[in-house]
Amino acid sequence: MKTLLICTFFFLALPGGFAQADQSWKKHVSAAEQAKANPYAEQPDAIAAGGRLFENYCAQCHGADALGRGKRPSLRTPDVQNATDGEIFWILKNGYRYRGMPSWNSLPEASRWQLVTYVKSLGVNHEDQTAKDSGREKTGSPK
Amino acid sequence: MKTVPTFRASLRSFCQGIVFLLIVHFIASFSAAQEPPYFVTYSDYMEEQGNLELDFKGAWGTPKYGNQFRSGTMEFEYGALGWWTTEVYLSGQSTANDSTIFTGYRWENRFRPFPREYFINPVLYVEYEAVNFADRSFLEVTGHATQQDLLVPNNLARQEIERSLETKLILSSNVWGWNISENFIAEKALNESEPWEFGYALGLSRPLANAASARNCTFCRERFIAAAELFGGLGDSNGFGLRATSQYLGPIISYDVPKGPTVAFSTDFGLNDNSVPRIYRIRVSYEFEQIFRRKGSK
């Protein structure tokens, strides 16, 4: 019984140590994937639709403001906002399972591109960035 | 002996159901799961790490020369890790002119061996189950199971409990908005000297719209997924093939209620004389987001 309790505790505690805001996934993205063009880039309808999808699927971990929750990373850092649309599309498709990011490959491709469009529309968050590394040059502004 | 529930008892059950739903609504955030709506077939979808999905699956039908049955299965699915999903099932059934009984439990684990997405994504499935022969959940069909097995009265069927190990190879692809999934099942009874039994399930699904609409809407097309699945037995290691097996084919439609559960309906049609002519199914699932990780949130 004691072993069972220990196993149960271990099992429930497992999700705790993941999803640091590392960008090591980018090294897996091929040049062709990076260069993929977003068919919905900067389209207002796609931003609105992507916002709805974000609320449904992403806000639970990344927060409704995309600034991250707990150990889940912010999507409004320069690293994410300066990533190409193809790179963000790649991580939506493949996920980063060992770091807690699930794959969203079962969402249709068009919906994933709408999500990319929405995420890129958010821009870098100034306050978040200033608090994290004051002194580093800011690369954008919140919209 | 059948007992007829009084109006008061029915009202109490209804109120308890409403209270349960309200509690669920207030203690958890819902999310619309993006998994294909199959009842029998598994896709490569894994429960999100830290999420818990509660899922009720109901099935009812009437075997030829038999009484109507209604079965209910409660599923608790937890994303232990990004590549490991674990699930517990509790099943029961009620047969007209017979009785209502608990039929057993299952504990399954699904593992994704590869971290990335490929054209075909394999998932390995291992399940331990302890269910009696009165089980009517139709979560899978293996071996030479036929509708004649359903004619045994509950009081006899419940005495025979099969403890078995079930393995599946799940192959799944997502192409142009379609999900195509194939399951190959091998099952071995651990407490009886029976041969390995085999089965299969094939599923095909697609949302009614690939792109989301820009405005909030209750009945927009992307909230609906249409699907179909084909499943049945493939005999056993003493006689592999379709002879003396039951086979089913059924369409499915599912709907994501805005900020609510996902509901799905299906009718499986028996394709030969060994199969129950029709099995009606309903599924209601709720996903509890990050259920053990809520305190660390901003």
pLDDT value, residue B106: 98
Residues 6+ away with beta carbon under 8 Å from B121:
B44, B112, B114, B171, B172, B173
Q: Look at domain B3-286 and name its CATH class.
A: mainly beta
| B contacts of A107 (beta carbons < 8 Å) | 34
**Residue B24: per-residue pLDDT:** 46
How would you classify the pairing of strands B262-270 and B239-240?
unpaired
Contact B79 A67 (CB under 8 A): no
Classify each residue of B245-260 as buried b or exposed e, where b means 16 or more C-beta atoms within 10 Å of its C-beta: bbbbbbebebbbeeee
Report CB contact under 8 Å: A16, B293.
yes
User: What residue in B sits closest to A92 (Cα-Cα)?
Assistant: B117
What distance in Å separates residue A139's CA from the closest CA in chain B? 25
DSSP class of residue A61?
H
Q: Give the nearest chain B residue to A71 (CA atoms).
A: B296
Nearest residue, CB atoms, B34 vs list A48, A61, A106: A106
Nearest to B116 among A12, A48, A94 (CB): A94
Size of interface A-B (CB pairs under 8 A): 111
CB contact (8 A) between residue A49 and residue B212: yes
pLDDT of residue A5: 54
pLDDT digits (tens, 9 = 90+) for A114-136: 999 999 999 888 766 555 555 44
CA B107, B205, A32, A49 dihedral sign is: negative
- Rounded to 5 degrees, φ, ψ at B48 are -65, 140
Cα angle, residue B254 at apex, residues A118 and B127 outer, rounded to 5°: 100
CA A132 to chain centre: 18
Please state the φ and ψ torsions of residue B4, each to the nearest 5 degrees. -95, 120
pLDDT tops 90 at residue A54: yes
CB B139 within 8 Å of CB B131: no
Q: Give the per-residue pLDDT at B93.
A: 97
The answer to whether the CB atoms of B298 and A110 lie below 8 A apart is no
pLDDT at B144: 95
Nearest by CB to B214, which of A45, A68, A98? A45
Residues of chain A by 3-state class (helix, strand, coil), percent to 5: 55, 5, 40
Q: What percent of chain A stands above pLDDT 70?
A: 73
Residues on chain A touching B215 (C-beta within 8 angstroms): 48
Contact criterion met (CB below 8 Å) for B143 and B245 = yes
Model confidence over B54-87: pLDDT tens digits?
A: 999 999 999 999 999 999 999 999 999 989 999 9
b vs e for B230-239, b when ≥16 Cβ sit within 10 Å of the residue's Cβ?
A: bbbbbbbeee
Closest alpha carbon within chain A to B172: A106
Are residues B220 and A121 in contact, defined by beta-carbon separation less than 8 angstroms? no
* Cα–Cα distance measured from residue B25 to residue B14, given in angstroms and rounded to the nearest whole number: 17
Kindly report the average pLDDT of chain B as a whole number. Answer: 89
Q: Which parts of chain B fold into alpha helices (H)? A: 7-27, 154-157
Local confidence band at A2 (pLDDT 50, 70, 90 cut-offs)? low
Q: For residues B160-171, give the mean pLDDT.
A: 96
- Greater confidence (B240 vs B22) lies with B240
pLDDT band at B40 (very low <50, low <70, confident <90, very high): very high
Q: Give B22's contacts (C-beta < 8 A, 6+ positions apart).
A: none
**pTM score, whole prediction:** 0.83
Chain A neighbors of B213, CB-CB under 8 A? 49, 52
Nearest-Cα residue of chain B relative to residue A108:
B177
Contact assignment for A106 to B117 by CB distance below 8 Å: no
Do the Cβ atoms of A106 and B174 come within 8 Å? yes
Q: Domain boundaries in chain B? A: 3-286
Rounded to a whole number of angstroms, the distance from the CA of B36 to the nearest CA of chain A is 8
Predicted pLDDT of residue B183: 98
Residue A57 in tokens? 């699927």
Contacts with A11 from chain B: Cβ below 8 Å: 80
pLDDT of B218 > 50? The answer is yes
Model pLDDT, residue B210: 92
**Mean pLDDT (whole number) for A58-64:** 89
How many C-beta neighbours within 10 Å does residue B166 have? 20
**Residue range B248-281, pLDDT digits in tens:** 999 999 999 988 899 999 999 999 999 999 999 9
